Every structure is written in C-alpha cells, then in structure tokens.
Structure 1
Amino acid sequence: MLHAEDNPISQAVSAWSPVDIRLHGDRPSQCGRHFNRLWTYDHDFSVGRMTPAPKALTLGDMKGGRGMLVWYVALGIIMALTAWLVNRLTHHSWFTTPRTIALILVTIIAAAFMQNRISTGTSAKGSEVSPRPESSEGSSAVHAPGSPKTTSPAKPAMVTRTLASSDSSGSLDDANSIPYFAGYVESNSPQDVNGDSFAQNLNFPLVCSDTSDKFVDYNLGRDYETFTATIGPSDISKSKRYSFEVWVDSERVFSKSLSHGQSKKLNLSVHNGLKLRLAACSLDETVIMEREGGGIFGDPQVHGYADKVPGGR
C-alpha cells in the first residue's frame, strides 16, 4: 500500500479540488467527489488502477475547513456541558454564562495552538530528506561493464636541444645541438656565473655602443615550447654591468640588466616561435671588449614534444 504522502501519483490528486478518476474502470457514483489527504490508495501497477481506501480520522489530519469547524464546535459543546455538570453537582453557580463562554474560548484557543504545534512538528519531520550519498569515485565517469575503457592519450615525452655557439656553416657532430644562423657570439669555453660553472654557454663580450652584432639568432621552426638558461656577467668579467634580452620572432619577451656577481634563471615560452634571438652587451663603457669574460647565457636550451621536434622520436 502506498500512502498519499509517499506516492507522487496520489499527491497529484490529493488536493481539495474535484477530481475525475476511474476506480477499477468505473466512474464514482458521485461526480466531482472531493478526495483529500485523509485517503490512501491501493495502486495496482500492473493495470494502472488506484482504489480509495478510507482510514481513521485523526486530529493531525484535520487541517482547516469544515473538519476544524466541527471539531471546535464539538469542543465548545463539551466544555459547556462540563460547566453545567459542575454547577449541578456542586449546587453552586461556579460557571456563570460569561465564565462559561470564557472557558470555551480559552479551551478552543489552547486546542488550536496545540494542534498547530503538532502539525508544524510533523510537517518539519516529514520534510527532512536524507542527503543523497555521493559516489566514492567523485565526478569520474562510470564504466559500463563490457564496454571498452577509454583513456586519455598520454602526452609525448619532452626532448631538449642545446643552443650552440657555432654557426650553421660549421660542422656539428652533436645532433642534439642547434646552430645559430645570424649574429656573433664567442667560442664555447667554460664560464662561471655567480659561482655556478657552465661548460655549455654563450659569451657576449662587446660593449653596447659597439656597432658589431651583439646577438645570435636560432631557427626553432615552431617546434619548441620553452627556452631555459642562466644569465649573468662572467665571474672573470671586467665590466661591472651587462644588459640581457630575449626575442621570439619580433617580440621582446625578456629584458634585464645584471651587475657583476648577479645571476637569473630563465624559463620562457617560445610556443609556436619561428626565430629565437639572444642578445647581451656591456653597459660599462670603460671596457670596449672583454678578453676572457662577458655576458653569459649558461646552459641555453630549448624544449619541445618528441612528436614535433625533428629527430625527437
């Protein structure tokens, strides 16, 4: 048996309004009969029928309307008879007419207050809905039995190429190096920057006012994602301060001046970049050209996915 409070089909027809339903295929003898929540329904899901079955009337079921009016009238009559009976048994007029009316009103008000408290408590308790348990798997998709599992493809491994200090006209035995195609840079002798040693480095020894090239350009072919290096004046440099710049195609993505004894690690995006330019020069006009030190790019490297970098697989 499904109760009207628990059955959504019953709730749809349980309002105080005329309904027109067939009970086991027959129309009720009284057209427009009012059904309310005092009824329960036997629902035969095999044939889609609902049969009304009356249940006992309770105080909690009387919610307004004629039911409440009848209840209060009956209560008033009971209190009036009680007052009359007390006067009769005690032979005293304890309850005069005003006192009797006051007693009836106080009793009805108290009964209405208690009935309202009971109805409110019952409704609040019935409306509590236990929270729906969350799946222990969070928001992950449910894998249907028998269906093939779908997994997101893993990203290709990253490969690294070193930016060489030799140009493309020379012979490169190391396939993991990229030669520069324009500009000028000193040979790749080991250099120390702020106490860290770099066997692989790019050395720019010229002062900024010199008209010679103070940069090198590398062809990235849009194959790489990031550029990394450590920059700073060489520890044996005579110049007090150097300026460093990094360009991707025609956009300058980094610019900074560092003094002797300072260094900075770079990790810059070169995504979809065609040409990478590295530049450095001395801001100290007292040293026209360094003989041993200079502005250093230590361990200059570019990194890309193996499926894009030439020879990366």
Structure 2
Amino acid sequence: MGVQYLSDLQPLSSSSGTDTGSAEVNGRNYARSTSLRVDKSYIPENDAEYNLGRDWRTFKATIGLRDDAPTGCRLKFEAFADGKLINDATLPLGETRDLKLDISHVLRLKIQVTYVSSTDISNYCYGAWGDARLET
C-alpha cells in the first residue's frame, strides 16, 4: 500500500504559502501536517494545489485549527478534486474532523482554508490538515 504525505510534496501553487511539519490540533500532535495561515484583514483565504497524476485512491487527514489559534476562531475547510468540491466543513477551535475522501482518477487536489471569525481580529489562525496523506 503506497502512502504519500502532503507535507513531503511541493504544491503546484499556493495563494499564501504552506507551513509543514508538526501541528498540535485539539490537544493531539500530528507530526506530518500541512497548515494554511489565514486572518481577517490580509489573508482571508489560503489554498494549496497538488498534482496527483491520477495515481491515488484516497485522501485522509484530520482537519482542525492549530491549538495556537485565538479563542473564538472558526475556519472553513474545503477540498476540491479537479475543481469539484469534495469536502466542506466549518470548525471552531478545539474541534476536529477525520476525512477519508475518494480521489480515484483525480489529477489535481486543492485544499483551502477560509477565515470565518474570531474574537480577536488582529491575530491569525492556522487551519491544519493533520497527517494529510494520499493512499493507493
């Protein structure tokens, strides 16, 4: 069974960059994560797009806000397969969701995080795709 972590791949494009490596989400550490930074004023949305070459069957990740996010922060997590929305979830700080998405025959995978709200508008938030990986 083949596995490829997004944190080990260079995205084809990213609107405001990615942060890869360890991420603490809801009290749990995800060692091979891809995080996207967003904020209310300058980066309300951030994404990263990857070339899959139609080689993978499943995309798995645990999504949520990194534990260093300000209180009250909420982010929207979306995933697109060849431009088609395959995941849409809005999560507050302290909640996670496990994803297992079918990406059979997909050429491009785009992950996106959008700022929704927080109690402190001057701080930024990171939306983490914990241990995000492609599987055959």
Q: TM-score range by the shorter chain?
A: 0.7 to 0.9
Answering whether residue 13 of structure 2 is matched by residue 182 of structure 1, we say yes
Structure in which a larger fraction of residues adopt strand: 2
Q: Secondary structure at the match of 2:17?
A: coil
Q: CA deviation at 1:234?
A: 1.0
Comparing both chains, which one has the higher relative contact order based on Cα–Cα distances under 8 Å and sequence gaps of 6 or more? 2
1-structure distance, mates of 2:41, 2:102: 29
**Structure-2 change in CA distance of 1:247 and 1:288 (3 Å):** farther
Q: CA deviation at 1:256?
A: 0.6
Deviations 1:209-254 (A, max 9, x none): 6467600000000010000000011111015211100000110001
1:164-203 superposed matches below 5 A: 164=7, 177-183=8-14, 184-203=16-35
Which of 159, 177, 183 matches 2:2? 159
2-structure distance, mates of 1:198, 1:240: 20
Equivalent residue for 1:284?
117
Equivalent residue for 1:144?
none
Which of 251, 254, 263 matches 2:84? 251
1:31-110 superposed matches below 5 A: none
Letter in 2 for 1:159: G
1-structure distance, mates of 2:32, 2:10: 13
Q: Is the 8 A contact 2:19 2:36 kept in 1?
A: no
2-structure distance, mates of 1:260, 1:213: 17
Which of 59, 78, 93 matches 1:227? 59
Q: Is the 8 A contact 1:185 1:202 kept in 2?
A: no
Q: CA deviation at 1:192?
A: 1.1
Gaps of 5+ in 2: none
Instruction: Kindly report the root-mean-square deviation, in angstroms, between the aligned alpha carbons of the 2 structures.
Output: 2.0
2-structure distance, mates of 1:250, 1:220: 13
Which of 37, 58, 64 matches 1:205? 37
Q: Secondary structure at the match of 2:67?
A: coil
Q: CA deviation at 1:207?
A: 2.6
Q: CA deviation at 1:201?
A: 1.2
Q: Secondary structure at the match of 2:54?
A: coil
Answering whether residue 22 of structure 2 is matched by residue 216 of structure 1, we say no
**Structure-2 change in CA distance of 1:288 and 1:250 (3 Å):** farther
- Normalising by the residue count of structure 2, what TM-score does the alignment of the two structures yield? 0.87
2-structure distance, mates of 1:261, 1:185: 24
Identity of aligned residues (%): 25
Structure in which a larger fraction of residues adopt helix: 1
Q: CA deviation at 1:287?
A: 2.9
1-structure distance, mates of 2:114, 2:25: 15
Q: Which deviates further from its counterpart, 281-290 or 211-220?
A: 281-290
1-structure distance, mates of 2:117, 2:52: 32
2-structure distance, mates of 1:210, 1:179: 24
Question: Number of paired residues?
Answer: 133
Letter in 2 for 1:179: Q
